[in-house]
Amino acid sequence: MFDLEFYRNKKVLVTGHTGFKGSWLCKLLENYGAEVIGYSLNPPTEPSLFKIANIESDVKSIIGDIRDLSKLKEVFDDFQPEIVLHLAAQPIVRDSYKDPVYTYETNVIGTVNICECVRKSKSVKSFLNVTTDKVYFNKEWEWGYRENEELDGFDPYSNSKSCSELVTHSYKRSFFDEKGIAVSTARAGNVIGGGDFSNDRIIPDCVRAALSHKEIIVRNQYSTRPYQHVLEPLYAYLMIAAKQYEDSKYEGYYNVGPDDVDCFQTGALVDTFVKLWGNDLCWSCQSDGGPHEANFLKLDCSKLKKTFNWKPRWNLELALEKVVEWSKCWQSGGDVRECMDRQIKEFLGE
């Protein structure tokens, strides 16, 4: 495996550090001795993993809007990061229908702003923009999308992340190549893990129902998604950013997802969660007639596997076990930071 000791004493700027994925990423980086600067809005949910796990103690946390170019530029000037990991986004499909302008401002102009700061920086050597598996023009076919497929997401969220990809591609060709800044994008599948309190996501919905002893409500039991534990893409992000830092031949556009066997229908996913949680938990399917969402989505991750000799470490059932473990630790008033540290060590085989 790639050795995360690479990050010891490296200055790493993480945008979106107060979110679910950002919090796990900061914990990973702190565990391996990185100097982490976080730039984000306040935590997007209440409760939040950022507060529960006291992630603020692990980073230099700066509360700011990714749309605020001048403040973002000040952060770059003050801290001189070597590596930039861009996670800040409006990440919810349904919310993008409710407020498309904010979604495009955050996901597109926010990417322009971070790229502009990287362009003007004299310290950045490696930049990774985290997007999504939903950037592709979805043809509802059974094959996994490859990195050279057409980018054209349907809904405002997916489309804004397609635009974020294109912004990054343009800055790479126009500016980053000649400055010697290595840049990649990572298109990750659906992520699950302990501490996700987002709305309109199936596993957080399952956890909320389980904790309140209610029936789980599923909107579409037949929709198929590539599910993976949050540590899978985070490890891949850190690997890509480090490898291109050392050698720009590794920069590019990468899918980060599970093996085909972990592309589950929602109903099967919830069945597995119910089995693992116990306590006679049950679910039912109740469509609410909401806006369009893709029915079938799968990624071809051959490029990532071949380039870095990478492969997923935890299958979906084990990933769900870790969700249940973390959630029950939190429910019982246990030490969630210790739980996170233990899961990180198990994932890395330490």
pLDDT (tens digit per residue) in 314-329: 999 999 999 999 999 9
pLDDT, residue 291, reads 83
The CA-CA-CA angle for residues 294, 296, 299, to 5°, reads: 110
Q: CA 206, CA 215: separation in Å to the nearest integer?
A: 9
Q: How far is CA 45 from the centre of its chain?
A: 16
Q: What is the pTM of this model?
A: 0.96
How far is Cα of residue 25 from the mean position of the Cα atoms in its chain? Answer: 9
* pLDDT of residue 1 exceeding 90: no
Quick one: which of 336, 317, 320, 324 has its CA closest to 210? 324
- 3-state SS, residue 289: coil
CB 22 within 8 Å of CB 89: no
- What is the secondary structure of 110-148 as a DSSP string? HHHHHHHHHHH-SS--EEEEE--GGGB-----SSPBPTT
Nearest of 237, 196, 197, 202 to residue 217 by alpha carbon: 202
- The pLDDT value recorded for residue 296 is 87
Percent of the chain, pLDDT > 70?
100
Q: CA-to-CA distance for 181 and 165, rounded, in angstroms?
A: 17
pLDDT of residue 124: 98
Identify the CATH number of the domain defined by range 8-348: 3.40.50.720
Once rounded to an integer, what is the mean pLDDT over residues 99-106?
98
pLDDT in tens, 156-166: 999 999 999 99
Mean pLDDT, rounded, for 83-93:
97
Cross-strand bridge partners of residue 130: 186
CA–CA separation, 335 vs 331, rounded Å?
10
Instruction: Say if residue 287's pLDDT is above 90.
Output: no
- Annotate 97-109 with b (16+ C-beta within 10 A) or e (fewer): beebeebbbbbbb
In the numeric block, the tokens 């700027």 are attached to 13
